[in-house]
Structure 1
Amino acid sequence: MNILIVEDESRIAKRIERMTRDILGNTIQSLRHINTLQGAMESIGKGSLDLVLLDLNLNGENGFDMLKSAVSESFHTIVISAYRDQAITAFEYGVLDFVPKPFNQDRLEQALKRTITNEKTEPNETKFLAVKKRQKIQLIPIEDLIYIKGAGAYTELFLTDGSKELHDKSLEKLEQLLSPIFERIHKSYLVNMSEVKEIIVKSGSKYMAELNNGEIIPIGRTKYKEIKAKWV
């Protein structure tokens, strides 16, 4: 994993680095520390990150200025901050976890282990997915999302207005962030189950989900019984 720590207090940054190395061990490929918002933004722009550990107060600068951009990227973001009152907003933006300061190694380990076990985030309060669009960041309300299709390292978001947006996160990462109403019905599809109108069984053990908008998408054979039970 390539990890970036964004923290303006050197003592805390060193503590986070030490704990992270203890917890993730040889899964770490690189672990860097940056203490300014501008430096962090430049580093993110260069790509090749798997995880950002972000403080929300960087020498008086607001980490939320970076957060909206960070959550649109392919990596997960974990906030480490003393500003507990901002946790809900951070989750709404789509962070994997919010670790309040002061913290111990057990709490940091709980957050970091989610990055390698694909454990879903709690309390599933993601309300937006941030996408990069024409040099800007656009927040897509989760309520406008019908389904997500995997497209290699990227994903395609299909929205209620008929439009489609591209997201840099993988299907697996988005599945971690979204509420249980979004089900992985196929290796390439994550669907809002409230949008499923009918489940269709075709010859040759082929299963399909008909959506409220008329679209038909596949259901994996190994997923059919589970999806059918939850849909009913």
Structure 2
Amino acid sequence: MKILIIEDETRIAARIERMTRSLLADKLERLNRVDNVADGLSFLANQAVDVLLLDLNLNGEDGFSVLASVVSRSFHTIVLSAHSEQAITAFEYGVLDFVPKPFDENRLAQAFLRISSQEHHAGGNLKFLALKKGGAICMIDTKDLRYIKGAGIYTELHLKDGKQELHDKSLEKLEYLLPPGFERVHKSYIVAVDQIEKIMINSGSKYELLLKNAEVIPIGRTRYVQLKAKLFNES
């Protein structure tokens, strides 16, 4: 795992590094530290990372400027901040976790555990997905999504207006971040539940979803029972 820490207080940065090395041990491939927004953005522009550990107050600079620049990138971001009142806004940017300062190693371990956990989760608070288009960042409201299709390390966003956009985050990473109302129905599909018309059962125990726009997408056999129960409970 490749980690970048952006933290302006040397003592705290060293403590975060020490905890991270202890928690990840041989899973850690590379760890770097910078103490300001400019160096952080420069590093992220030139080096691949898996996880960004980000403080929001960096020598008077706003860490949200980093989030705004990297929100469309494929890595996870964990915010480490004393400003708990900013947690909701941070989650709207799509961060994986918000760890309030002061924190101990156990709390940081919980944040890292979210990266590898395969358990179903209650949903995040992500309100927008950011796309890089023509050198600018375009924000797409999650309410405008019909479904998301996996495309290798990328995803295809299928919108209610019929448009399609390519996003840098994988289906697995988006599954952690999307708000309630989205359901993983197949290894390659996440669907907005309000766009489902009905479940269809075809010959050979083949399950499919008919969407309200008449599109049909597959349902994984292992996910059929869970999806049926969810739709039944919500009806």
**Residue matched to 1:97:** 97
Deviations 1:80-135 (A, max 9, x none): 11111111100111100111111111111111111122456777221111221221
Aligned residue type for 1:21: R
When residues 122 and 96 of structure 1 are mapped into structure 2, their CA distance, relative to the original with a 3 A threshold, is farther
Q: Distance in 2 between matches of 1:48 and 1:94?
A: 18
- The unaligned stretches of length 5 or more in structure 1 are none
Contact 2:92 2:125 in 1 (8 A): yes
- Cα-to-partner distance string for 1:1-45 (whole Å, 9 max, x where unaligned): 001001111111110000011111111100110112111111111
Q: 2:200 aligns to what?
A: 200
Alpha-carbon distance change, 157 to 123 in structure 1, aligned in 2, over 3 angstroms:
closer
- TM-score, with structure 1 as normaliser: 0.95
Say if 1:138 and 1:120 are closer, same or farther in 2 by CA, change over 3 A.
farther
Structure 2 partner of 1:183: 183
Q: Which position in structure 1 is the counterpart of 2:29?
A: 29
| One-letter identity of the residue aligned with 1:137 | I
Code of the aligned partner of 1:82: A
Structure 1 stretches of 4+ with a deviation exceeding 3 A read 118-123
TM-score, with length taken from structure 2: 0.94
Question: CA contact under 8 A between 2:74 and 2:168: conserved in structure 1?
Answer: yes
Tell me the residue number matched to 1:108: 108
Amino acid of the residue matched to residue 12 of structure 2? I
The offset of 1:180, in angstroms, is 3.6
Bigger CA drift: 118-127 or 7-16? 118-127
Residue deviations 1:149-201 (CA, integer Å, cap 9, x gap): 00000011111111111111110010011134211111000111111001111
Cα pair 1:114 1:120 within 8 Å, conserved: no
In 1, Cα distance between equivalents of 2:149 and 2:123: 24
Give 2:67's aligned residue: 67
Q: Name stretches of at least 5 consecutive residues in structure 2 with no aligned partner.
A: none
CA 3–119 in structure 1, closer or farther in 2 if over 3 Å, else same: farther
Residues of 2 paired with 1:121 and 1:46: CA distance? 33
Mapping for residues 1-232 of structure 1, pairs under 5 Å: 1-118=1-118, 124-232=124-232
Of stretches 41-50 and 54-63 in structure 1, the one that deviates more from structure 2 is 41-50
Q: CA–CA distance in 1 between the matches of 2:124 and 2:75?
A: 18
Do the aligned partners of 1:51 and 1:77 also contact (CA within 8 Å) in 2? yes
Moved more, 147-156 or 219-228: 219-228
Q: Distance in 1 between matches of 2:83 and 2:120?
A: 23
% identity of equivalent residues = 56
